[in-house]
Amino acid sequence: DTEVTQTPKHLVMGMTNKKSLKCEQHMGHRAMYWYKQKAKKPPELMFVYSYEKLSINESVPSRFSPECPNSSLLNLHLHALQPEDSALYLCAAGMNTEAFFGQGTRLTVV
């Protein structure tokens, strides 16, 4: 069982849709992350939140908008995505050492 919960597990959306990915953790970790993973590739960092403040944005297009409402929740708002944005989106929560990952959301943009 994962201590980082992501919803939904699967999402299909059109290029004009607006949707959100949700991530929740109750481990008390104050750093939370969004990663994007294409098939057969390692995860690539998108955003880092530290103490609910955005600390790293890896030059991600503005059609991806992160939000950290509190220390347990992390959202990724999606708007006007492109088919090449189809991927597995992983959320992680961590401390000074390891990061714990959720099961991911498989996103397909049609």
Partner 1 sequence: AQTVTQSQPEMSVQEAETVTLSCTYDTSESNYYLFWYKQPPSRQMILVIRQEAYKQQNATENRFSVNFQKAAKSFSLKISDSQLGDTAMYFCALRYGGSQGNLIFGKGTKLSVKP
User: Can residue 88 be called a binding residue for partner 1 (CB under 8 A)?
Assistant: yes
Contact 99, 92 (CB under 8 A): yes
State how far the alpha carbon of 61 is from the alpha carbons of 46, 57, 78, in Å: 10, 10, 10
Q: Beta 10-13 vs 105-109: how paired, if at all?
A: parallel
Amino acid type, 31: A
Torsion angle defined by CA atoms of residues 70, 24, 64 and 99, in that order, rounded to the nearest 10 degrees:
100
Nearer to partner 1, 16 or 28 (CB): 28
User: Can residue 66 be called a binding residue for partner 1 (CB under 8 A)?
Assistant: no
User: Can residue 38 be called a binding residue for partner 1 (CB under 8 A)?
Assistant: no
Nearest distance from C-beta of residue 42 to partner 1, angstroms: 4
Nearest distance from C-beta of residue 40 to partner 1, angstroms: 8
Report the residue from 38, 56, 61, 77 that binds partner 1 according to the rule CB under 8 A.
56
Candidates 11-19, 59-67, 71-79, 99-107: pick the segment binding partner 1 (CB under 8 A). Answer: 99-107
